[in-house]
């Protein structure tokens, strides 16, 4: 009976130790997140009034030239996350983005939900997207955005293996303007912007982007009036500490 008591005591002690280790690991992970050590970025913690404007799902023959026009008029750079299949169809649009001082990142080759794919197929999508950029006149991308923002630690590791950092966002332009008047939606978005915000918008996909086009000049104007400066994501990363959690 004494032996049984000792045995139970050992088991309890081991379980307690395991729980303690688990807590330490979780706390360490929380600290790593807070310190910006994750390679997944949703915004940047900075005291500088800088913001990055990003566009997904292009290049698109209808919407991308309109976005480029509005950016050029405002002298604002952006970061475009490109679908490789569409880059191959319209490499001139990507080249125009680069010539204007914007940067481009990988958004896979055909825009699938990566977590639903096998690891081999997910890796192939990421690699093919990057290859489409380089084979059509761009540099090897250092930034990756998973379609729909759906990612996992494994997918993040695949992007890192290709030399890219995963970029998400903390604010979405369409979320604010698609269901209310554009001026009202943009005003609410501007109030939500913080130094280091990464704003998601779209210049492609199946949806009608008319409201996005209407909103862009107003968004840029209002943020500039509040003292914000627009930079690319790569420039933003150099301005502070990356944060993995969305706002």
Burial class (CB in 10 A: 0-12, 13-18, 19+), 66: middle
Our answer to whether residue 170 is catalytic in this structure is no
Q: Supply φ then ψ for residue 41, to 5 degrees.
A: -120, 130
Distance CA 159, CA 146 (A): 9
Q: List, as one string, the DSSP characters of 188-226.
A: HHHHH--TTBEEEEES-SSS--HHHHHHHHHHHHHHHHT
Q: Compute how many other C-beta atoms are within 10 angstroms of the C-beta atom of residue 217.
A: 15
Our answer to whether residue 179 is catalytic in this structure is no
Q: Compute how many other C-beta atoms are within 10 angstroms of the C-beta atom of residue 51.
A: 26
Q: Supply φ then ψ for residue 223, to 5 degrees.
A: -70, -40
Give the active site residue among 56, 106, 156, 203. Answer: 56
Q: Which two tokens stand for residue 85?
A: 């299949």
The dihedral sign for the CA sequence 230, 233, 238, 242: positive
Give the active site residue among 92, 202, 203, 208. Answer: 202
Buried b vs exposed e over 153-176: b needs ≥16 C-beta within 10 Å? eebbebbeebebbbbbbbbbbbeb
Buried b vs exposed e over 20-47: b needs ≥16 C-beta within 10 Å? eeeeeeeeeeeeeeeebebbbbbbbebe
Active site residues: 56, 202
């Amino acid at each position: 009976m004494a032996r049984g008591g000792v045995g139970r005591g050992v088991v309890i002690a081991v379980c307690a130790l395991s729980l303690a280790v688990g807590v330490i690991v979780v706390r360490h992970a929380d600290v790593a997140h807070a310190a910006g050590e994750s390679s997944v970025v949703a915004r940047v913690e900075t005291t500088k009034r800088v913001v990055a404007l990003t566009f997904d799902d292009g290049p698109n023959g209808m919407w991308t030239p309109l976005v480029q026009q509005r950016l050029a008029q405002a002298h604002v750079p952006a970061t475009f996350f490109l679908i490789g299949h569409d880059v191959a169809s319209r490499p001139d649009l990507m080249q125009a983005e680069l010539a204007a001082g914007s940067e481009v990142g990988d958004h896979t080759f055909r825009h699938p939900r990566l977590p639903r794919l096998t690891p081999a197929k997910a890796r192939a999508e990421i690699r093919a997207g990057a290859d489409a950029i380089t084979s059509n006149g761009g540099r090897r991308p250092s930034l990756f955005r998973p379609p729909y923002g759906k990612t996992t630690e494994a997918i993040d590791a695949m992007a890192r293996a290709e030399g890219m950092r995963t970029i998400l966002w903390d604010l979405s332009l369409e979320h604010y303007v698609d269901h209310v008047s554009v001026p009202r939606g943009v005003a609410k978005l501007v109030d939500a912007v913080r130094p280091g915000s990464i704003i998601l918008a779209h210049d492609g996909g199946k949806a009608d982007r008319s409201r996005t086009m209407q909103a862009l000049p107003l968004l840029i104007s209002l943020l500039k009036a509040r003292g914000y400066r627009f930079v690319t994501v790569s420039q933003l990363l150099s301005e502070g500490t990356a944060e993995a959690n969305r706002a």
